Amino acid sequence: MGMIDNKKIFSIADQILMDRVRDLEKKNAQLEEMLEGIMFRLEDLDGEKFEGWPLPEDRKPDVFVPISS
């Protein structure tokens, strides 16, 4: 008898899903780096750290008024 290979065998669907997850993780990491860079730049411009990003807890949300025709 030959040697048994202990590698897992994945179906094509498993491989497609794993590739998609890997791509999404890469995009997520890129977005996190971009946001971190933006936050550092805003801190430099403002001179203060941002607390409660994206909105401070005491800030009211914007009110949108419908456009009448």
Q: What is the pLDDT of residues 35-64, one digit of tens each?
A: 988 888 887 777 666 555 665 556 666 666
> Are the C-beta atoms of residues 49 and 36 closer than 8 Å to each other?
no
Hey, CA dihedral for 18, 24, 26, 29, is it positive or negative?
Answer: negative
Rg (CA), the chain: 24
Question: pLDDT grade, residue 2 (50/70/90)?
Answer: very low
Q: What is the CA angle 26-29-31, rounded to 5?
A: 110
Report the predicted TM-score, pTM, of the whole model to 2 decimal places.
Answer: 0.48
